[in-house]
Amino acid sequence: MEMYDDDDTASTGRGPSPASSASASASEDSPAAGALSGVAASARAGWEAENRAAAQRLSAAHRLMVECLAHPDCRLEDQRPGFAVVDPLVMACSHLVRMFPISTYKAEAMISFAADLHFRYPAILEAMAQGRMDQAAGHVLAGQMGYVAEEVLPAVQQQVVDDYLATVEAGERPGARAVAERADRVIAVHDPAGVRQRKADAGRERGARIAKGRDGMAMLYALLHSEEAAVLAEALEEKVAADRAAEQLAADRAAEAADAAVAEPVGADADAAPGGQGYSMAQRRADALLSLVCGDPNRPGDDAPGAGVTLRPKITVIAGRGAAAGQGCGTSTST
């Protein structure tokens, strides 16, 4: 069973083919080709400048943290009674939030990543400062090397970065998963125990949460073991297939009824389930997930097979100040 993965839909690709390069070179003297080359060069320059700017921000965040650690008001603890101290991280984050329109959480993450780059992965920071690597790739590579032993880390991190840069500059365009796999191959040569330890500890991050989204939507995040995700993916696939079969059967019956009445089969698709044109597989999977967890609304009765859990909204009413003071105050919960 193949699990759904949109991250690396086209995980690896290469630059233009030789045939396309030849045809491009044949028409490179045309005004349109010259303008296109200029736009491409400008885009590349902008990408490199963005990478250098990211490296500059991270370096500045690290220097700011170092300055806060040395600040006389910032001490980890002070035994003198009544003497207040400031946490260096709090001071550094306050400065970053004031300088950049970011939250405190992002400021802390920025300082943490900057420290990792300076103390553990200077090759990543150097590649970013040269404009050759973006911050997203740096995050992926740093995450893969999190458990590498300190004694081999300098050589490993340099080799991992060199391998990534050589791959990209050769014309390949690996996705995040392919980048992580290539890094693991390099790490496994020097520190196979580090790769095994990282994978063993990955289960500690297993979990699920729901976050409020925008426009009346919400986001569901889940980090599962591969085997668990495969089982869930298979269940969703089976439910989607069953729903589509039911929709097709309903459409066929509607068409037969229309033919029997010697009428145009107008609206046959509209009478079927909402899985017609424009109904994506992602929407079908969302329906399947809710059906598996909460029950199929097309199966009445709590005891019916596949009925799932019946959800009842919990409504909390907070009464405001009115004429009947003291009456109806507090909260009222109904199900």
pLDDT at position 276, please?
53
- Asked if residue 161 has pLDDT above 50, the reply is yes
More confident residue, 82 or 283: 283
pLDDT at position 177, please?
92
Alpha helices (H) along the chain: 18-26, 31-70, 88-99, 104-119, 122-129, 135-144, 153-169, 176-190, 192-201, 226-260, 268-271, 281-294
Domain ranges (residues) in the chain:
41-119, 121-205, 224-309
More confident residue, 290 or 57: 57
pLDDT at position 256, please?
81
pLDDT at position 18, please?
41
- As a whole-number percent, the residues of the chain with pLDDT over 70 amount to 71
- Asked if residue 53 has pLDDT above 90, the reply is yes
Mean pLDDT for the stretch of residues 88-98 = 94
pLDDT at position 251, please?
85
CA 6 to chain centre: 10
| pLDDT 10s digits, 168-203 | 999 999 999 999 999 999 999 988 888 888 888 888
CB burial readout 44-54, b (16+ within 10 A) else e: eeeeeeebeeb
- As a whole-number percent, the residues of the chain with pLDDT over 90 amount to 40
pLDDT at position 97, please?
96
> What is the rounded distance in angstroms from the CA atom of residue 258 to the CA atom of residue 84?
82
CB 148 within 8 A of CB 191: yes
pLDDT confidence tier of residue 71, bands split at 50, 70 and 90: confident
pLDDT at position 296, please?
74
CA 300 to chain centre: 37
Mean pLDDT for the stretch of residues 122-130 = 97
> What is the rounded distance in angstroms from the CA atom of residue 139 to the CA atom of residue 130?
16
- Asked if residue 313 has pLDDT above 60, the reply is no
**Exposed/middle/buried for residue 176 (C-beta within 10 Å: 0-12, 13-18, 19+):** middle
Backbone angles phi, psi at 209, to 5 degrees: -155, 155
Q: Which two tokens stand for residue 65?
A: 């943290």
pLDDT at position 308, please?
47
Q: Which two tokens stand for residue 64?
A: 């700011």
Q: Which two tokens stand for residue 22?
A: 């030849």
CA 180 to chain centre: 15
Residue 27: helix, strand or coil by DSSP? coil
The DSSP annotation for 236-302 comes to: HHHHHHHHHHHHHHHHHHHHHHHHHTT---TTHHHHS-S-STT--HHHHHHHHHHHHHH--TTS-ST
Chain position carrying tokens 């150097």 = 126
pLDDT confidence tier of residue 317, bands split at 50, 70 and 90: very low
Can you say whether the dihedral through the CA atoms of 138, 143, 148, 151 is positive or negative? positive
- Asked if residue 121 has pLDDT above 80, the reply is yes
